[in-house]
Amino acid sequence: MSTDDVVILSAARTPLGKIKGALASLTAVQLGTIALQKALERSGFGPEAVD
């Protein structure tokens, strides 16, 4: 495999919320970060495995 290949090992989705609900104060970046952290947890790899 080339070092330029991208491999997705796991996935997680961002939560759905209501307008002005509990998630309203979170930015898209914050929600995405949470989803990526959970996907990484589920994959069994540590953060050092991500480039």
Q: Residue 10 pLDDT > 80, yes or no?
A: no
Q: What is the pTM of this model?
A: 0.62
**Alpha carbons 30 and 17: distance in angstroms, whole number:** 14
What pLDDT score does 38 carry?
86
pLDDT of residue 2: 62
The candidate with the shortest Cα–Cα distance to 45, out of 5, 9, 6, 2, is 9
- Higher-confidence position of 13 and 27: 27
**Domain locations along the chain:** 1-51
Q: For 16-49, what is each residue's pLDDT tens digit?
A: 888 899 989 999 899 888 888 888 888 888 888 7
pLDDT at 9: 66
